[in-house]
Structure 1
Amino acid sequence: MEITYTQNEISEVAEQILTASASNIFLLYGEMGVGKTTLIKEIVRQLGVLELSGSPSFSIVNEYEAKDGVVYHFDFYRITNIEEAYDIGVEDYFYSGNFIFIEWPEKIIELLPESANSIYIIKNNNGSRTLKLMPVK
């Protein structure tokens, strides 16, 4: 699925992603400032999360209470080696059955579950974004 959208259309994009996804794990790829965190915030809002915080850049993971369980939001931008991911028990999170959103997944590529959706976002010259969702096959 490929979608070009503006900030005003992010609610519809989030809904389409949730509808098209076969997995509850999402890997988000894109440059700094492309809107990964903004998209995640909207998706988790649609999952029933009422209290949101920013990107977990400093804490690595944020945990949100949703109406049907827990949602985890990882940001691996600041990790310097794979051991940091092991130290927080990242694999336990991946197999918890909860919704998981991962920014900068390329930093832990060898740990990523195969059963994850990949989302690639690029910023276009006119300020819109183009998103490619590659769901699990």
Structure 2
Amino acid sequence: MNSEVSIISRSPKETIEFGKSLVQDARGGEVFALIGELGAGKTQIVKGAAIALGIEAEVTSPTFNIVHCYEAKNKTLYHIDLYRIEKLEGSLRLYIEEILHSKEICFIEWPGSIEQLLPPWTQYWQISIISENERKIIRLR
């Protein structure tokens, strides 16, 4: 996938389908940084990834838990939400660094507070609200 990818999602279902496509060829170790305002559809993308990986659990935003871990048959998906985190310190920082460098698939919402920790292979995706149901999704790098 090159850095010029840009799509328009016209429904939550299409945003979920986009999430499925992100992990279609995943081998493990992928890191996806999702950037966008509240309600842009970041969690919908993670829901799609979980469906594609065969995860049956309900995917919800880990805003208060910070990290959700979902087990699939042969892969693990981590969903990290740093909306409430200004500075990552201590054992939480170590835990997230461990996840980022594992062989598992990781999606991070609100990655700004840990940008310096993100591995060089991180895919950055910007999700922008166009209208109630439309989103523009752009790969930044």
TM-score normalized with structure 2 length? 0.84
How far did residue 109 of structure 1 move?
1.4
What is the RMSD computed on CA atoms of the aligned residues? 2.2
Residue 67 (1) aligns with residue 65 (2):
no
Q: How many positions carry a matched residue from both structures?
A: 134
- 1:52 equivalenced with 2:58 (yes/no): yes
Give the aligned residue type for 1:16: S
Correspondence 1:112 to 2:112: no
Stretch deviating more after TM superposition (8-17 or 26-35): 8-17
TM-score (norm 1): 0.86
Task: Summarize deviations over 1:98-132 as a string: whole Å, max 9, x none.
Answer: 00000000121111111111111001036300101
Q: Paired residue for 1:2?
A: 6
Task: Compare 25-34 and 77-86 and name the one that shifted more.
Answer: 77-86
Rounded to whole Å, the distance in 1 between the matches of 2:46 and 2:19 is 8
- Structure 1 unaligned regions, length at least 5: none
Aligned residues with identical type, % of pairs: 32
Tell me the distance in 2 between the aligned counterparts of 1:8 and 1:63.
23
User: Deviations for 1:14-70, whole angstroms, at most 9, x for unmatched residues?
Assistant: 233334879611000000111101111111111111112411111110000112121
1:36 aligns with 2:3: no
Give the distance between the partners of 2:127 and 2:33, measured in 1 at CA: 11
